[in-house]
Amino acid sequence: MGEVSSSKIRKKDSFQFQQFTLKQDQCAMKVGTDGVLLGAWAPVQDALHILDIGAGTGLIALMLAQRQEAAQVMAVEVDDSAAQQAKENVLASPFADRVSVDHSAIQDFSQTIKQKFDLIVSNPPFFSGGVLSEQEGRASVRHTTKLSHQDLLRSVQRLLADQGSFCLVLPWLEGLRFQEWAATYQLYAHQVVKVRPNPDKSPNRLLLELKKYPGSIGTPTTTEISIYERSGPDSPRSADFQALTQSFYLQS
């Protein structure tokens, strides 16, 4: 799963938001800016059934439950330790009656469940090649060894409602490649957000919303935002970042 380092989000044993706290000592990938962005940005209006593929700590599932009070949210996580910790985080949250965690691979999950989802989200593995790092747990979720992009798209195609949205966050180049792959599974870019780490840098992340369409949908809506957090007590967060996350981060 993708992660952007920041001064605010640190690899500590727990992370507190306004309405819930996430323990993360058993998760290979900690709370990261990519997940926060996706959970704050994905369109939840009219989404009554939501699926989070790769739950990790349960971050995105809980953010979406907070944003859409009418939704039932299901999160799927293949890793034993992460799935258990996500379940514990959900049970400790105010949204335990509307969020569930399924310990399984999405490849298996998609073959057995009949439910269709109005919104599917994922902060997926993004390195499709290269050498795995010595930290096997972290490496396995950052590489597509357990979940190829083809398997992800195949599963989404089965589970997504006809008018539903599939939203994900990926590094720039992987995001461009993913859009090409998605079109071969009849999933087409509907909205693309280019994410700049700061005003002086080129975009390095893409937030994508994909939809099912029976053919070409023309040019997707493309916007650009600057996402950066304060590097010190006197340097403010970007306006875009504040607008997206104001309902989640503790005020400081």
For residue 233, being part of any structural domain is answered with yes
CA 36, CA 242: separation in Å to the nearest integer? 12
Domain span at residue 79? Answer: 16-125+139-245
CA 232, CA 135: separation in Å to the nearest integer? 30
For residue 184, being part of any structural domain is answered with yes
For residue 214, being part of any structural domain is answered with yes
CA 117, CA 226: separation in Å to the nearest integer? 30
| CATH code, domain with 212 | 3.40.50.150
CA 212, CA 200: separation in Å to the nearest integer? 35
CA 147, CA 137: separation in Å to the nearest integer? 14
Please give the C-alpha separations between residue 227 and each of 72, 77, 102, 213, 244, in angstroms, as whole numbers.
Answer: 29, 27, 32, 31, 10
Residue type present at position 34: D
CA 43, CA 189: separation in Å to the nearest integer? 14
pLDDT per residue over 195-204, tens digit each? 988 888 899 9
Relative orientation angle of helices 80-91 and 59-67, to the nearest 10 degrees: 30
For residue 66, being part of any structural domain is answered with yes
Contact assessment for residue 85 and residue 24, using Cβ atoms and an 8 Å cutoff: yes
The number of domains in the chain is: 1
- Residue 192, H or E segment: strand 187-196
CA 50, CA 72: separation in Å to the nearest integer? 6
For residue 203, being part of any structural domain is answered with yes
For residue 251, being part of any structural domain is answered with no
For residue 162, being part of any structural domain is answered with yes
Q: State if pTM tops 0.75.
A: yes
- Residue 60 neighbours by CB under 8 Å, 6+ apart: 35, 38, 39, 42, 52, 75, 121, 123
CA end-to-end span of the chain: 28
Q: What is the pLDDT along the chain (252 residues), one digit of tens a residue?
A: 444 433 344 457 899 999 999 999 989 888 999 999 999 999 999 999 999 999 999 999 999 999 999 999 999 999 999 999 999 999 999 999 999 999 999 999 999 999 999 999 999 875 443 333 434 444 444 334 568 999 999 999 999 999 999 999 999 999 999 999 999 999 999 999 999 888 888 999 999 999 997 554 567 888 888 887 655 555 567 888 889 999 999 875
Tokens found for residue 97: 């009656």
Tokens found for residue 25: 């000592």
